[in-house]
Amino acid sequence: MQRFPLAALGLSAALLGAGACASSKPDPTALAIIEPKSGSSVSGKVVFTQLPSGETRIEATIQNATPGKHGFHLHEKGDCSAADATSAGGHFNAAGNPHAAPEDAKHHNGDFGNIEIGADGKGTMTMTSNMLTVLPGPNSVVGKAVIFHDKEDDLKTQPTGNAGARFGCGVVNETPTGNASQIKVR
């Protein structure tokens, strides 16, 4: 469903790029559009950018959520089809680590900790990870799914953080442009 607008954007960006600086290659990006699940009205987007250092930056924006902390993870299957988003499987954990905070030495590749939602129902989060890539490989985010949970991740209960129901889900797709952050979400 997202393919046509993304492809169109890619084409116009390529045309613009041809006229501008042909030598500066954009960083690889991927995008997940968060859709409401489990009867919630949560929406949002997550932009992944693989930086020249090899680390991947994760920038999330969430709307229409309840105030407070909510568990936020990359799950292993890019499948949000189930009404409760259980189709996305468990946390992405190619490293075979225990569940923990992203700051801890050992944690799941997909552990993003919590995202804090304000009184206006909105929240943002930015972090970088050296356990994820946008480009193909064993740690690639492409083809996985971002899950926004009902409850706070306690960062210790195995393997889920006891974060409760899945209130938002978005499949991660690679974007052809390097400009995923410019894509607007209604």
Answer yes or no whether residue 107 interacts with Cu ion by CB under 5 A. no
Nearer to Cu ion, 28 or 113 (CB): 113
| Of 54-62, 69-77, 111-119, 167-175: span binding Cu ion (CB under 5 A) | 69-77
Q: How far is the CB of 72 from Cu ion (least distance, A)?
A: 7
Answer yes or no whether residue 100 interacts with Cu ion by CB under 5 A. no
Answer yes or no whether residue 73 interacts with Cu ion by CB under 5 A. yes
| Of 15-23, 40-48, 73-81, 101-109: span binding Cu ion (CB under 5 A) | 73-81
Distance CA 62, CA 130 (A): 23
Nearer to Cu ion, 110 or 178 (CB): 110
Nearer to Cu ion, 6 or 147 (CB): 147
**Number of residues counted as binding Cu ion (CB under 5 A):** 2
Q: How far is the CB of 77 from Cu ion (least distance, A)?
A: 12
Nearer to Cu ion, 139 or 179 (CB): 139
Nearest position to Cu ion, beta carbon: 73
Answer yes or no whether residue 147 interacts with Cu ion by CB under 5 A. yes
Q: What's the per-residue H, E or C state across the chain?
A: CCHHHHHHHHHHHHHHHHHCCCCCCCCCEEEEEEEECCCCCCEEEEEEEECCCCCEEEEEEEECCCCEEEEEEEECCCCCCCCCCHHHCCECCCCCCCCCCCCCCCCCCCEEEEEEECCCCCEEEEEEECCCECCCCCCECCCCEEEEECCCCCCCCCCCCCCCCEEEEEEEEEECCCCHHHCCCC
Strand order in the sheet with 111-117: 111-117, 68-75, 145-149, 166-175, 29-36, 43-50, 56-63, 123-129
| Of 22-30, 36-44, 96-104, 140-148: span binding Cu ion (CB under 5 A) | 140-148
Answer yes or no whether residue 144 interacts with Cu ion by CB under 5 A. no
- Positions touching Cu ion (CB under 5 A) are 73, 147
